[in-house]
């Protein structure tokens, strides 16, 4: 389930995150997440500690793949 935290202004999955792993994404209301400096500033401002941060590249495209079951 995707949950929105209005205090942090981020979206995150309640099914993926646990005590050792956190994933989430924010809108531009937080800042431009494509800039690593902004990501570090966000973590520092929220007193969030981390061992690794992975920043994926978001790509908008028209590439669509269709998968169908072999069962008919």
Residues 1-28 pLDDT 10s: 788 888 888 888 878 877 777 777 777 7
Assigned domain for 39 exists: yes
Decide which of 45 and 30 is more confident. Answer: 45
User: For 40-70, what is each residue's pLDDT tens digit?
Assistant: 888 888 888 888 887 777 777 777 777 777 7
Counting beta carbons within 10 angstroms of the beta carbon of residue 19, is it exposed (0 to 12), middle (13 to 18) or buried (19 or more)? exposed
Assigned domain for 27 exists: yes
User: What pLDDT was estimated at residue 72?
Assistant: 60
* Verdict on whether the full-model pTM lies above 0.75: no
Assigned domain for 8 exists: yes
The pLDDT mean for the chain works out to 80
**Could you tell me the residue range of the domain that residue 27 belongs to?**
2-45
The count of domains in the chain is 1
Q: Is the dihedral of CA 23, 8, 3, 35 positive or negative?
A: negative
């Amino acid at each position: 389930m995707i949950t929105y935290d209005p205090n942090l202004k981020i979206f995150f999955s309640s099914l993926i995150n646990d005590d050792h792993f956190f994933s989430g994404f924010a809108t531009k209301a937080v800042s431009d997440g494509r800039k690593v400096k902004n990501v570090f500033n966000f973590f520092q401002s929220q007193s969030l500690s981390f061992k690794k941060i992975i920043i994926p590249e978001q790509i908008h495209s028209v590439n669509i793949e269709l998968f169908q079951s072999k069962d008919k």
